[in-house]
Amino acid sequence: MSHSSTVLIVEDEENLADLFGIWLREQFEVHVAYSGKGALEIVAEESIDIVVLDRRMPGLSGKDVLQSIRERSDTQQVIMVTAVQPTEELAVIDVDDYLLKPIDRRKLLQAVEASELVLTYEASVTELLSLAARKATLETNLDKTELEDNSRYIDLTQRIRELEKQSDTTLQRLESGYQIDMLVRDQRIGAQPVEQF
């Protein structure tokens, strides 16, 4: 199956970056950057559809790279891959998915394939999928009673409800045509919170 999407892997652990590249090259055109600076140079020169972005890097952090990418364009899908346990701050970090290390080939490939599919849908559905992924990550990793009192989380949930009303028909087509882990509705979340350390 041939894909036209271009993926940029940004990871300062070179062996891990190269491994991600091997996993994805069968289906995608892949660029690899071992630093935030290198990533921004590639983004400036190449047309990138999906960014797989490490959060903690020396020099320019993943958040710095994300901000620069979003300032240039908001059309790329950005998947943050990190060992950093999420906090309520994730509700306002403009990423489309958030994967916790260690990550295997299947999970990474599934996330990138889902991001590629999202690129074909209108902006409201893209935003909804991004927000739903962040909400699911927060609810899986943080105590739900604390989240319910958090203004960022409340705003995130309200925005999801608004977008669901606008996008319901398109989402039904998306859900029936493709299995996407990150599309998690309120009633489907059953994972138990993970204690932070």
Question: With bands split at pLDDT 50, 70 and 90, how would you rate the model's confidence at 168?
Answer: low
Q: Which of 23-27, 129-133, 138-142, 185-189 has the lowest mean pLDDT?
A: 185-189
Euclidean distance between the first and the last CA atom of the chain, given in angstroms as a whole number: 42
Adjacent-strand bridge partners of 80: 53, 98
Q: What pLDDT score was predicted for residue 169?
A: 60
Q: How confident is the model over 45-101, as pLDDT tens digits?
A: 999 999 999 998 988 989 999 999 999 876 789 999 988 888 888 888 889 899 999
The DSSP result for 138-190, as a single string, is HHHHS-HHHHTT-HHHHHHHHHHHHHHHHHHHHHHHHHHH---TT---GGG--
Rounded Cα distance between 114 and 33, Å, is 22
Domains, the chain, in order of start with CATH, read: 6-183 (3.40.50.2300)
Higher pLDDT, 135 or 190: 135
